[in-house]
Chains A and B, each alone.
Chain A
Amino acid sequence: MTCDSVTKLIPLYYYAELTPEEEDRVEQHLHECSGCTREMDRQRTLAAALNSRQSGLPPRLLEDCRADLMAAIQGGAPRRDPVKGPWTLFLEALGATFGGVVRVRQPLGALSLIAVGFFAARFIGVTPGREGISQAGMAPEDVFSTVRSVQPDAGGRVQIAFDETRRRVISGGLDNQNIRRLLLAAAHEQNAAVRVESVDLLKGQAAASEVRDALLNAVSHDSNDGVRLKALEGLKPFASDPAVSQTLAQVLLTDHNDAVRMQVVDLLVARRDDSTVGVLQNVVQREANNYVRLKCEKALKDMNASIGTF
């Protein structure tokens, strides 16, 4: 094989996209050619640099997307362009007038919903006897509403769909389904203290797949270090589950917190699983924390794997 043909195959070799025969030929050439070995090193460095660019999702983005989607579907997502109503025309006119603020349309929309919700709560919160919006006997301060859609019809009437939130206090054991459901929801709350507390309670229930999924989500995406550490504790007994170990590998590569990575590396190396070799090699190349790097190196040696990526 010539150097020219090997150079062309190096990216595919790195990504393990060659046939076994091609792979053998490239490896043989690399053993004999220092120039192509340097090319291979550059490929590895490029890949490691690109790994550092991968960013997590902004907090709450996933939840917001899910809420938007479900609201669109439940509000009757249009199958084709609908006839434009006065509300749409008004919004379009507003958009045309303030063309420069198109980029902030969503935040403005959210703010307007909050504002509408605020006033709606005051007008409708205590209306008794009306189906769907009645909260007889409820103090108005306990009811909060958010308008999800406004649909005028040709007859001058308007249909408004809104979510109504009422503050309640309930108590119960962790085995109670309602309590667990609320804890799962609380694990996504904006308030970090609520998330820490909820995940702390949920971590003992990780045998249930819905709880495990919530812990996986928290350990991958929660912006708070404490929440991620608590979630890790809950996942410990399930480190051999493929979905858990896959997520832990991702966390080891991307989490910025040393304590989190130290916990994760302990869990991953304890398994001595061949499927983690690639991740451990990757970590050895880029990890700044000595404990994590040495743990990975030792695990690779114990598994008779090379320290570098191939």
Chain B
Amino acid sequence: MEAVIALSIGVLFASGVWLILRPRTFQVIIGLLLISYAVNLFIFIMGRLSVNQPPLALLAGTDTNLFADPVTQALVLTAIVIGFATTALYLVLLLTSRGLSGTDHVDGKEPGT
């Protein structure tokens, strides 16, 4: 399972990096989304991979190895919310730029003009 997760994070991140280096704003925003997916998954697995384990122990003295790490789950929730909000903000900026300049090039003008 580790290999699958690691590969998928790698592929997501690499695709994201490729896309944010492209000249069109739509490609850039998709790239940002892919990178934030990769990062969120990455944070999530930093609490070690585990299957079918609850995140919280209610009784004191329970063996903690039977439980998933709740901290990374809390962190990833925060990261998702913030990443989503800032990407939405970039979407607004992208549309503003499109409206003002009439082009979807990241520099606000077509190359060669």
Task: Note whether A and B form a binding pair.
Answer: no
